[in-house]
Amino acid sequence: YSSARPTTNISGFVSEFILLGFPCDRDIQILLFVLFSFIYLLTLMGNASVIYAVWSSQKLHTPMYILLANFSFLEICYVSSDVPKMLTNIISQTKSISYTGCLLQFYFFFSMCAAEGLFLSVMSFDRFLAICRPLHYPTVMTYRLCARLMVFCWAGGFLWLLTPLTLISQVPFCGPNTIDHFLCDLAPLLALSCAPVPGITLICGIISSLIIFLTFLYILGTYFCVLSVVLQMPSGSGRHKAFSTCASHLAVVSLFYGSVMVMYVSPGSGDYPGIQKFVTLFYALATPFFNPLIYNFRNKDMKEELRKILNVYYCYVPDISVP
């Protein structure tokens, strides 16, 4: 897919980009298409099951599960902002995306990535109140506060990326239009500018790093307080219950921030397109796939509600225990 003669508009600027994606043999591309489509479908089903379980069960109408349902809806939007286009380009011969479509994909994908960090922070705050301030939890974490926190997460994520979007929209693209990636990521996109943009690159990098570090440090601080309280509990069963309550959220936090920091914080990580694609693919597709599995398998209430929805009860499971 040559970029020697990029498609330009009347003013001479690029009107579309070419997303190389995963250049390989046709048979492997078909295999990737089937694999990614299957994971995408399971991701939608898994997160939708969490939403339906919370919506259909009166028992789960609590701030913790309402936040979880919103998080699952965010994951559906998050994975749908880039995967359908990636799947289309895998089997397409042109692999093109319009200039406007590229900017919108960048904005929505990374806005929801920022919103995910905010949701994980709010969910850690909810766990902090439940474990460290159990007596005050019902009066502090009210439905009104829960609604405000959800609005804050959604609005905060989309407002945070407005400045990078505005800056990128002012960058001139008049030369090569081939992006060696499967989505419109910041670094490979700015690398195609026909004018030096070190200032825009620096500002966008600072904004992206701030949302990552601020939310991550807040989550670390929250769980440091939780850990100090849990270790002081006299009851072993109480400590086990507290750790069990936080385990799912910590696993999701580790998956998300681990992959994001490898991509955007590790020195030289962006110098290798193959590694860049793999890590981006992990937090863009694999993380939303694993999140509902983590919450469903480790949460007793969620497992019970999902069994009811699917009409799968313990009485249908053969008893293999040894008498």
In a domain? residue 45:
yes
In a domain? residue 7:
no
In a domain? residue 54:
yes
CA distance linking residue 60 with residue 21, whole number of Å = 41
Specify the pairing of strand 16-19 against strand 178-179.
parallel
Cα torsion for 55, 57, 61, 63, to the nearest 10°?
-80
In a domain? residue 67:
yes
| Range(s) of the domain holding residue 82 | 16-316
DSSP output for 165-223: HHHHHTS---S--EESSSS--HHHHHTT-SS--HHHHHHHHHHHHHHHHHHHHHHHHHH
pLDDT of residue 280: 85
Q: How is residue 308 written in tokens?
A: 């009811």
pTM for this prediction: 0.86
pLDDT of residue 124: 92
pLDDT of residue 73: 95
In a domain? residue 55:
yes
Total number of domains in the chain:
1
CA distance linking residue 13 with residue 49, whole number of Å = 45
Name the strands in the sheet holding 178-179, side by side, starting at the edge strand that comes first in the sequence. 96-98, 16-19, 178-179
C-beta of residue 215 within 8 angstroms of C-beta of residue 121: yes
pLDDT averaged per 10 residues, the chain (length 323): 48 78 87 94 92 86 91 94 92 88 94 94 92 89 94 95 92 86 88 86 88 92 86 70 74 85 59 73 88 77 74 46 37
In a domain? residue 3:
no
In a domain? residue 322:
no
Number of helical (H) and strand (E) elements in the chain, helices listed first? 13, 3
pLDDT of residue 23: 84
In a domain? residue 59:
yes
Q: CATH number of the domain that 33 lies in? A: 1.20.1070.10
Residue 241: exposure state from Cβ atoms within 10 A (0-12, 13-18, ≥19): middle
Q: Given 3-state DSSP classes, what are the helix, strand and coil percentages for the chain, each rounded to the nearest 5?
A: 75, 5, 25
